Structure 1
């Protein structure tokens, strides 16, 4: 075989390999046109409050400092006295959009979204928010609109700060999370004097979604072991405590609310994410409230990693999930 033919053959083989990658991986995982089904079992909760602390590593939330103190004392108390905890294992690419799609829509993102910068909806998809009676969400304009965009009807409401607020060079980005907490407080305060909104909030299948971007932003700017990153975790812990108290008070402590805190992805020590390092793929999961089992003390657990002893949580049952 002469050289020109050899080169052409080599190029053809490489083209076939390249096309096969697109054919295998750039195909939507979704199937459209299926008949919807609903369970006949009564729901364990009337409403869900979902906190997603963007960029929060599992070890950053669970570990104790040199004095044996948690950076998130409220959530630590939840783990030992109210609910269940574990590690949520994410999948590459560890980015915000695919992480949120996995959490809220229940499937791994259509990889063709990477060609659009994880900003658009390359295919239509259903989500928890769309199946709710009403969903109210607060947070980043990069995340919230994509779940409202594909929702049927007018029942998914978004409250976003300005895109310019997301400054990865900011001295301290906790203001992003403070904005969310403050607006949620204002929302429930106004609902007490708004009969229409008050009535909607007392329907079943209600979702409140708080997207907290400050930790991710501080991680990029200052790294996960910085005082800014750790201080933001404390700020989120305080905010979660306030919102939980606010929601329970609004609903008269009826015991019909479930609370979930998790993260879309973690972050490397040098302030990046997207790949498959454990610091990026191991995220926290804490759940409590209606339908959630109370803490279980155990004498041993089936985990090969050393995190349980490092976090001083070896006696509290850890329940891991795939994001």
Structure 2
């Protein structure tokens, strides 16, 4: 009887250990030879707005008077760029959402055991591959992309963590802080020769992390006036920043703008699970290399939302968060083909590294190439 009990305990222990070995071990590999697309990109710089905790329906829907809460962004949809739904994955939390957006992969669950903090697993990112990146926003999000970056080219500007108070009377101040500091940064750059030279380089990224909506959603719920008014504040801020960029760079047509969210939020002000209110986030892009609006009579993604939002005649381009939305690109077939080929070769490099790792822990006569 005792032997049977010990055997059963051992089997359960093996099963339990296998769960951590399979699911809580990072699949990422390092040491690949990097590859680059040989053709010049259409943009010199990227401006990335991430409105933390913004639901797709909250942005796209019209108010009780038939007006948009984000008139500037809606104007972009109709006259300048492309739009759609970005489908996130569980867990719908800020860290994995931002990793998907900026590093291009769904973060493995091994990070859960470390609280999604900083870099439990080292990974490459768009910021690390840029010439320079400047970012503004939450001290919980920005450091994770700067700490894992090589060299001194990813700069962060964060407010005091004490400002992130879910009970705060006016959480929109978190977003106002970001917009004001970006404007101050560019004003100072005009009188700083070194900084002016840097922000006029190629492969530049500006990241604006906007936490006000997430904070207001948790404190007051997405149906609240606070949350809805915050959308208008974000829209006004984005409009100012876009105007500033066009003026600063002489409207050179070399800036790409992306507005999206890391995750949505339930009606009761939570997120983390897989309800559509948490996984459906907005994606609006415009500027260099982005397709212009396309009028259609039939949508590929047809649902009741389109008529409610009165966007049924503007082509909707849905994507999975973290995956390059090729359908958004306004470029030659050659450029797209070269980009896809480069991506395929980079995946092959990961295969080579994984094969080498497998060889090192496998007896030579047992190893079979895949």
Flag whether TM exceeds 0.5 (same fold).
yes
Measured in 2, the distance between the counterparts of 1:308 and 1:8 equals: 60
What is the CA-CA distance between 1:18 and the residue it aligns to?
Answer: 2.2
Q: Which residue of 2 aligns with 1:172?
A: 170
Which stretch shows the higher mean deviation, 293-302 or 107-116?
107-116
Q: Which residue of 1 aligns with 2:311?
A: 313
C-alpha distance after superposition, 1:125-169 (max 9, x if no partner): 110001101000000000001101011111100000001110011
Q: Which residue of 1 aligns with 2:285?
A: 287
1:210 aligns with 2:208: yes
- SS of residue in 2 equivalent to 1:113: helix
TM-score of the superposition, structure 1-length normalised? 0.97
On the 8 A contact 1:173/1:218 being kept in 2, the answer is yes
C-alpha distance after superposition, 1:182-213 (max 9, x if no partner): 00000000111111111111100000000000
Measured in 2, the distance between the counterparts of 1:5 and 1:222 equals: 58
On the 8 A contact 1:110/1:123 being kept in 2, the answer is no
Q: Judging changes above 3 Å, is the alpha-carbon distance between structure 1 residues 6 and 304 closer, same or farther for their aligned structure 2 residues?
A: farther
- RMSD across aligned positions (CA): 1.2
Which stretch shows the higher mean deviation, 288-297 or 305-314?
305-314
On the 8 A contact 1:113/1:120 being kept in 2, the answer is no
User: Where do residues 223-262 of structure 1 align in structure 2 (5 Å cutoff)?
Assistant: 223-262=221-260
1:45 aligns with 2:38: no
On the 8 A contact 1:110/1:122 being kept in 2, the answer is no
Measured in 1, the distance between the counterparts of 2:216 and 2:179 equals: 17
Query: Which consecutive unaligned segments of at least 5 residues does structure 1 have?
Result: none
Measured in 2, the distance between the counterparts of 1:56 and 1:8 equals: 52
Q: Which residue of 1 aligns with 2:27?
A: 29
Q: Which residue of 1 aligns with 2:301?
A: 303
Which stretch shows the higher mean deviation, 285-294 or 115-124?
115-124
On the 8 A contact 1:63/1:311 being kept in 2, the answer is yes
C-alpha distance after superposition, 1:247-273 (max 9, x if no partner): 110000000000000000000000000
Query: Which consecutive unaligned segments of at least 5 residues does structure 2 have?
Result: 322-370
- SS of residue in 2 equivalent to 1:137: strand
Task: Count how many residue pairs are aligned between Structure 1 and Structure 2.
Answer: 321
Q: Which residue of 1 aligns with 2:78?
A: 80
TM-score of the superposition, structure 2-length normalised? 0.85
User: Between Structure 1 and Structure 2, whose CA radius of gyration is higher?
Assistant: 2
Measured in 1, the distance between the counterparts of 2:270 and 2:8 equals: 37
